[in-house]
């Protein structure tokens, strides 16, 4: 039986919790803790493998080799992914806008180019790219990367969750408009797609049934301001299974 190894940061937690809903027993799932210790964030999410440096990749490979051949292991990764929110979840006093997919921009906001936005977001992708690039050279059966869950449309919900982490966030703080967050997410998504395509990494997209007509995460899958819940995680696991079953 092939093994699926789930590894990554905070988004990996929904996958791990989603395992309890998995009925198909054609894969053996493992969730090793490599890198720094797991921790629980006050806003409720957990993050494992909080850092994945080169030495951590080596530790992971050593760990996997102890079990079975690497070619029968399918790595399901969830490294980083919150870049678009880390970048601009709270609006500052100089909100900006940019063109994504030829749509119109808000003339009242400071205009920046998509290239500049991508450059800003790329700082959050560098470590993921490095880690995946090294992993792809190790002879693992397959390496997959999950798409970051679509953004949460509710500024109110996000603010409530944020205040759990930062009680000093008063009325002056404002969650960035859902419109801009969605564009940032789409931009980051296109960068992830490109990166995965170039590296030969499987990209596991958010299932259609989890997304509303405007492209946001449906409420029943919300966990906190940036993460999805275990139900979403289980659907993503199903998606991943379908993709690796279709591999040659």
Backbone angles phi, psi at 81, to 5 degrees: 105, -20
Please state the closest distance from residue 202 (CB atom) to other proteins, in A.
27
Q: Smallest distance, Å, CB 161 to other proteins?
A: 21
**Shortest separation between residue 107's beta carbon and other proteins, angstroms:** 8
Q: Of the two residues 34 and 158, which places its CB atom closer to other proteins in the complex? A: 158
120 vs 207, which CB is nearer to other proteins?
120
Q: How many chain residues interact with other proteins (CB under 8 A)? A: 21
Q: For residues 4 and 162, which CB has a smaller minimum distance to other proteins in the complex?
A: 162
Shortest distance (Å) from residue 83 CB to other proteins: 12
Query: For residues 195 and 199, what is the distance between their CA atoms, to the nearest angstrom?
Result: 6
CB 245 to other proteins: min, Å: 37
CA distance 107 to 126: 32
Q: Which is nearer to other proteins, 97 or 224 (CB)?
A: 97
Query: Quick one: 3 or 178, whose CB is closer to other proteins?
Result: 178
Ranges of beta strands (E only) in the chain are 3-8, 28-30, 39-40, 46-47, 73-78, 96-97, 110-111, 142-146, 202-204
SS3 of 170, please?
Answer: coil
Name the minimum Å distance from CB 96 to other proteins.
Answer: 4
Nearer to other proteins, 21 or 111 (CB): 111
CA 94 to chain centre: 27
Using the 8-state DSSP alphabet, how is residue 244 labeled?
A: H
44: left (phi > 0), else alpha (psi -120 to 50), else beta? Answer: left
Per-residue exposure over 210-238, b if at least 16 CB sit within 10 Å of its own CB, e if not: bbeeeebbeeebbbbbbbbbbbbbbbbbb
Instruction: Return the number of the residue (106 or 212) whose C-beta is nearest other proteins.
Output: 106
Dist. CA 248–CA 239, nearest whole Å: 17
Site string for other proteins, 208-237 (x = CB under 8 A): ------------------------------
Is residue 121 a contact partner of residue 187, using CB atoms and an 8 Å limit?
Answer: yes
Residues of this chain, 32-91, that bind other proteins according to CB under 8 A: 87-88
Measured in degrees and rounded to the nearest 5, phi and psi for residue 23 equal -100, -30
**Shortest Å, Cβ 120 to other proteins:** 5
**In the stretch 84-123, what mask flags binding to other proteins with x, by CB under 8 A?**
---xx---xxxxx-xx--x--x----xxxxxxx--xx--x
The footprint of other proteins (CB under 8 A) covers: 87-88, 92-96, 98-99, 102, 105, 110-116, 119-120, 123
């Amino acid at each position: 039986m092939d093994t699926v190894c789930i590894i990554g940061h905070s988004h990996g937690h929904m996958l791990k919790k989603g395992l309890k809903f998995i009925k198909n027993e054609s894969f053996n799932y493992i969730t090793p803790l490599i890198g720094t210790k797991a921790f629980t964030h006050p806003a409720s999410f957990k993050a494992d493998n909080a850092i994945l440096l080169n030495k951590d990749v080596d530790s992971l490979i050593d760990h996997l080799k102890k079990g079975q051949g690497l070619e029968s292991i399918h790595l399901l990764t969830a490294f980083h992914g919150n870049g678009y929110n880390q970048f601009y979840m709270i609006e500052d006093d100089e909100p900006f806008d940019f063109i994504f997919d030829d749509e119109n921009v808000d003339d009242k906001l400071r205009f920046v180019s998509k290239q500049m936005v991508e450059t800003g977001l790329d700082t959050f992708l560098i470590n993921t790219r490095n880690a995946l690039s090294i992993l792809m050279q190790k002879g693992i059966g397959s390496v997959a990367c999950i798409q970051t869950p679509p953004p949460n449309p509710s500024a109110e919900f996000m603010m409530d969750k944020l205040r759990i982490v930062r009680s000093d966030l008063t009325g002056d703080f404002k969650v960035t408009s859902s419109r801009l967050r969605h564009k940032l997410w789409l931009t980051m998504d296109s960068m992830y797609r490109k990166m995965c395509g170039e590296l030969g990494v499987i990209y596991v997209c958010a299932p259609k049934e989890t997304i509303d007509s405007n492209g946001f995460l449906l409420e029943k899958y919300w966990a906190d301001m940036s993460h999805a819940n275990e139900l979403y995680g289980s659907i993503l696991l199903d998606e991943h299974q379908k993709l690796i079953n279709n591999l040659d």
